[in-house]
Structure 1
């Protein structure tokens, strides 16, 4: 393991095999009509003329792209997710959308450190994420202002996911959505008493159990709730160690007068996980793709720390860095939200969400770069990240004539606290470190290099109007104002261990006017045009000691921080997109063009080995992206659906930059980590109670350096799935069996890149993670 161990490890099971189909017309939330798409209050918007409704569809195995929306919108329904392996991360399902890349070192999306999503070249830390309107932060691995999607909700309880691939709606609660937004919705409890039980088995001794109990309607008003539990236990696909998680969800719905409601959602999750080892091209070509840490072989790790390595490691350029004893994570999270959706009149709606989130835990890494005081050649480094945040959103929507006016505010107060410790390792023959997830080793601490605390205040106001000019032409226009004030206090710093103190102080990212204008014109039946123009800003990410691959100002020295704090500008962009949709019962098609002008792009520049890199945050100026996307789903026969999508993105830097007194020639070079070309496709066939699908995706090569002198090759990955519904069996209301194969051709490929940042040039230390080999999974589930 390398400097990724500076990250607070927290990972959780997502899922495995994709079912790459998109939202059917009749199931699209936030895109059912132009008014609904813009306001996100479909229950309260005045209904358009009947002829604007999307055409009927024959089945759900189809792709439809935001019919009626004024921006490019796509959604994944619950029915689509249920055709994946249970536990599949909602973000991994999105990887079949045009322009979207999802990567993970495991087949499930479980390994959170490696989980990575890009949309149109923007990384997950530059996108917006919400769950039932609760902000989930920027989804960085060491999340300081949110919570990962997989730890926020059990995937079986996801009702759908709405994706805005160009620009997120103005009212999305995010301070990082430069490149779009992903809004996740949980299912409501059933009106009928009962439940669901599911059991999954698979490769690497994978076992997953899921149980949900439904109360049904408890009284005449329709009060109801469910409580759900999921347990996942699986070994790593290479090396020793495992991923384990427990998670509980609960949701209560209380219907109110005038079709209003009060909804309460709760999530608790606990994860323990071992790490995969970072790879380089040198390690890949010498040791091979199955390079792994030594755990549980304490003797081999001890000898390696003393300079005695396995024979295969001797061919590498750095056998000391190739593997370590273990790296682990142990995290516990609580997340809750209460939403009042009140129809004050038939024209006026008031919606308010209160939420809170707490995160605790620790991560470990056995490092040979810090010996123990007792003479052991290594020690265990421990980090203790903690998040405590809470806030509210409130908004009013008023419909008058052909206008729907929506205005609201969002406020959040957050605390992020993290410390680093070193604990003693036993001498060889006097014990081992054992399983590092079994408890915080507080009785063996011999050094406390740093302790840091951030606090932040976020305030966002938005105002927008959706004007339905005619029954076929709708325009949405509005703006938001954003202020994010954040600062840190470093209570402990030991420069002899850290290599130098980091900055302390406060920064404010603010903009009073971030506008957005979009429109939709249905010029013929089934045919429509849309366009969107938006201006967006991202607040400064919070981090002082490089525990994230994040361009944060607080990693600088105090003098550098003071010199730049008044001139440093947050990242901003202008996004322009336009497109054409065709939607009918037999074919659904989309073609779109977009341009992005990215200003003040802050990059984390790294050099030297990953274990002790030299890092700097630098404004690399502007980035220009031009792209095109095309998707089509055809349904030639009843039960048969064929989907294909193509995307192209040319994203380059606008000018050279100077780093360390050296001019780096990056002008015109491709932005790293995102492929220029992508193809996604699948064929789905359903007959009676049986359904089968094969899906595949091709990604072109991805650059690893800013000067493009090193890249990882492209690859094609295919998956298979089959499902049979037995119907009622005895007292059970339904029994279903499914079988899935991930990586059908057993392809060896590079999955995650950029987990440790990108270098300007090929230094030999450009890290990535390998994707999992072929995997098999089978599931039996029953409803009662």
Structure 2
């Protein structure tokens, strides 16, 4: 891959695979040459008639077995939220099939207007690099739910949830509803200053059977998915599914891998009056090796292939002694350029029970009770801490853990032209984290081996341990009033209080720079967070909408000096006490208005928005990213003005053309005073989010064959708060095709697909800000590169 320097200053051990997997892949590969039909029944698009809360459902006819589906019809990448009082966009199952199986659904959302998703790997599976922005808001300022269960803020080292890739296998997603402007006030999130992303899992099929799927590809990718459906077990329609997914792939540069196992299960018990009881369960286990963080200097001097030394322990040992590969000596800091390895290991259990009860055609009561447990550890082989045996490096270990439980309960009552909805959400969350150092062997006496193989032994130091306890309570009340058949108003408010605090069972100040760790409690609360929205269908196919909302985000949590999020607890006790009295939770006002046009030929959307953001907390970093000087500071207000235009055209049967353009101008309202002086941030662009984006897709279906090409243009992104360093824009194109071969004996819908990621083999910067932004170009401005061209093929079938 040819590399062209492109940074500019502004003015200036493979896991063993079971024999059953090999037999399965052989069988499916052979079947791909046969003739079969669509791999799964065609997904029915999710309803696009969105208001703040749907009216209770009337009783439906008795459940009956699902008939075999015809081949899927062509579908555009998005379904615009016709009838919604806010900007809503839906992504359906058939749209997600255009991506490689196992791709993070957040990566699929990158095609939506105003949404930016970045990851260092083509699947979006590498969590440390996973980064989603929506209208300038980062993922820890958005709301995420799965079947109403809160998933927290999706950041790496999540303290109150888990990523969607660990919560639900992508093959089991029924659809995703995205509110780009402001999430509904009934969304269970304490972080959604901006929009909300709500995932929905599929229900078990009424017919007995299953699905098998095998994916192969670049970097020795090997992914297996199996889902078994019980079908209706009795006349009432009791049914369930169980699925298993295994993903195994190498890093695209350096050594190491990304490996995961995941089990999903869901049971549905239909009740009278179209009511239901649903039970969901998820278990996942993930082991991931890190890509090495890059800087502009490393990219220019060492090149895009820079990677950690694993499994070469000798090279890492010598680098810790100051003996580097020749190319590394050309950089400004060869000591910080690479390490033996960094890894993340996580195990999650997530479960929920939902009772959706229709008492009559006017009154509905829906309650969800859920629980979540997370455990794991992350490792980093550091030359900054020597081992007691005088080895020049050691292994740093961090242990995050989550135990949380909660419930949501809401009543919806329809009377005359009003749909009144009121509900509560409560969650208790205990987040624990500690840091330790384990001894590394002397050269010639052993190696550090595979850090994902088990918790490191020979721990010789434990700098700190923290325990956070958080109580979250929210109440919402809203009314959707149908003024006329074509005019709808929605008004409501949310009250929220989040009380969080930590205690430190153990710490060694000498190992923490002589500092005492921040310890104390903070409360974010607001009794009245209003939202007002409307939709007016003034002509057939034509509608206008607007929305105004006031939002608040609770204080994020993380351990001392972790440098992952802008949490007040990352500082020492002195800094925490000094800033505690002046800290305020982040709040904003979001204003948006727009126009929709919906017809069989064209679906179009134009949206304008303004965001007034107050008390923005920012993680301020300086020095090297591995040993930074970090502070969390209120950088004041941010003003964002933006516009989005999207259109899907279906000129002939089978052809769909989608285009969207986004503009966002997000700037700081004032300069920032720091310990070193005044930083000129007023009027400067907020880092990491582009001003312009273009998304396009062309899909064509003829009989059983589908082909599509999509492309994204991302304009330049600032790396510093004063905008003296940026990464350039880029255009990325992807290609995919699918073919349904027909039925073969007991197998139905044998389908083969082929995808190419990064079609032009572009070298580009993906993730930025993973270690915090600096005010100016210090030489330590970190980012991760995106993957080069990748090839993937899949074969699937139903039975």
TM-score > 0.5 by shorter chain? yes
Can you list the C-alpha shifts for 1:259-299, whole angstroms capped at 9, x where unaligned? 00000000000011110000000000011111000000011
Once the two structures are superposed, what CA deviation does each residue of 1:181-223 show, in whole Å capped at 9, x if it has no partner?
0000000000000000000000000000000000000000000
Give the equivalent residue in structure 2 for 1:611: 626
1:484 matches 2:502: no
Q: Which of 164, 174, 178 in structure 2 is aligned with 1:163?
A: 178
Query: Match for residue 19 of structure 1?
Result: none
Structure-2 residue corresponding to 1:465: 479
CA distance in 1, matches of 2:752, 2:404: 41
Q: 1:524 aligns with which of 526, 532, 539?
A: 539
The within-5 A match list for 1:274-673 is: 274-442=289-457, 444-499=458-513, 500-673=515-688
Query: Quick one: distance in 2 between partners of 1:61 and 1:594?
Result: 25
Are 2:669 and 1:676 aligned? no
Give the conservation status (yes or no) of the 8 Å contact 1:230–1:248.
Answer: yes
Displacement of 1:83 after TM fit?
2.3
1:700-719 equivalence runs, <5 A: 700-719=715-734
Instruction: Tell me the residue number matched to 2:32.
Output: none
1:185-200 mapped onto 2 (5 Å cutoff): 185-200=200-215
Q: Aligned pair count? A: 746
In structure 2, relative to structure 1, the CA distance for the partners of 1:554 and 1:190 (3 Å cut) is same
Provide Cα deviations, 1:76-103, integer angstroms capped at 9, x if missing partner. Answer: 0011112211101111000000000000
Cα distance, 1:258 vs structure 2:
0.6
Contact 1:63-1:588 at 8 Å conserved across structures: no
Q: Provide the residue aligned with 1:53 in structure 2.
A: none
- State the Cα distance separating 1:40 from its structure 2 match: 4.6
User: What do the CA deviations read for 1:278-333 (whole angstroms, capped 9, x no partner)?
Assistant: 00000000111110000000111111110000000000000000000001111110
Q: 1:434 to 1:40 in 2, by over 3 A?
A: farther
Aligned counterpart, 2:123: 108
Q: Partners in 1 of 2:372 and 2:305 — Cα distance?
A: 37
Deviation at 1:44, TM superposition (A): 6.2
**Aligned residue in 1 for 2:67:** none
Deviation for aligned residue 1:498: 1.2
- Structure 2 distance, partners of 1:62, 1:369, is 48
Cα distance, 1:62 vs structure 2: 5.5
Pairing 1:748-763 to 2, within 5 Å after superposition: 748-763=763-778
Aligned residue number for residue 776 of structure 1 = 791
Aligned counterpart, 1:9: none
| Offset, 1:41 | 5.3
2:57 counterpart of 1:39: no
Give, in angstroms, the shift of residue 45 of structure 1: 12
Identify the residue that residue 758 of structure 2 maps to in structure 1: 743
CA distance in 2, matches of 1:481, 1:766: 39
Once the two structures are TM-superposed, the CA of residue 560 in structure 1 deviates from its matched residue by 3.4
Distance 1:648 1:753 in 2: 20
Distance 1:41 1:381 in 2: 53
- Is the counterpart of residue 245 in structure 1 residue 263 in structure 2? no
Distance 1:251 1:75, change over 3 A: same
Q: Distance between the aligned counterparts of 2:339 and 2:573, measured in 1? A: 33
Q: Secondary structure at the match of 1:27?
A: coil
Shift of 1:433: 0.7
Aligned partners of 1:228, 1:27: CA distance in 2, in Å? Answer: 22
The equivalent residue for 1:52 is none
Q: In structure 1, what is the Cα distance between the partners aligned to 2:609 and 2:631?
A: 31
1:745 shift after superposition: 0.3
Contact 1:590 1:630 survives alignment (8 Å)? yes
Partner of 2:39: none
Counterpart CA distance in 1 for 2:545 and 2:73 is 26
* SS of alignment partner, residue 317 of structure 2: helix
Q: Secondary structure at the match of 2:741?
A: strand
Q: Is 1:67 the equivalent of 2:85?
A: no
Report if the CA contact (8 A) 1:127-1:177 is conserved. Answer: yes
Q: Unaligned regions of 5+ residues in structure 2, if any? A: 1-41, 61-71
Whole-Å separation in 2 of the counterparts to 1:670 and 1:700: 13
2:245 alignment partner in structure 1:
230
Cα distance in 1, alignment partners of residues 415 and 43 from structure 2: 27
Partner residue of 1:27?
Answer: 45
Q: How far is the alpha carbon of 1:546 from its aligned partner?
A: 3.1
1:260 to 251, 272, 275: 275
Cα separation, 2, equivalents of 1:508 and 1:583: 45
SS in structure 1 of the partner of residue 52 of structure 2: helix
Offset from partner CA, 1:113-135 (integer Å, 9 cap, x none): 00000000000000000000000
Deviating more after overlay: 108-117 vs 491-500: 491-500
Counterpart contact for 1:140–1:548, Cα < 8 Å: no
Spell out, residue by residue over 1:694-734, the C-alpha distance to the aligned partner (whole angstroms, 9 max, x if none). Answer: 10000000000000000001000000000001121121121
Local SS of the residue matching 2:374: strand
**Structure 2 equivalent of residue 80 of structure 1:** 95
Q: Quote how far apart the aligned CAs of 1:555 are.
A: 2.4
CA distance in 1, matches of 2:308, 2:571: 32
1:751-771: CA deviations, max 9, x gaps?
000000000000000000000
Q: Is the 8 A contact 2:518 2:560 kept in 1?
A: no
| Residue matched to 2:8 | none
Cα separation, 1, equivalents of 2:284 and 2:654: 38
**Structure 1 pair 627–136 and aligned structure 2 pair: CA distance change class (3 A):** same
Distance 2:390 2:434 in 1: 25
TM-score (norm 2): 0.92
Distance of 1:673 and 1:174 partners within structure 2: 23
Q: 1:413–1:227: structure 2 CA closer, same or farther, 3 Å change rule?
A: same
CA-based RMSD: 1.5
CA–CA distance in structure 2, aligned partners of residues 316 and 397 of structure 1:
62
Conserved in 1, the CA contact under 8 Å of 2:58 and 2:273?
Answer: no
Q: How far apart are residue 28 of structure 1 and its match?
A: 3.6
User: What is aligned with 1:129?
Assistant: 144
Q: CA deviation at 1:334?
A: 0.2
What secondary structure sits across from 2:300 in the alignment? Answer: helix
Q: Distance in 1 between matches of 2:315 and 2:571?
A: 38
TM-superposition CA deviations, 1:471-529 (whole Å, max 9, x none): 00000000000000000001111121112122211110000000000000000000000
Distance 1:329 1:27 in 2: 36
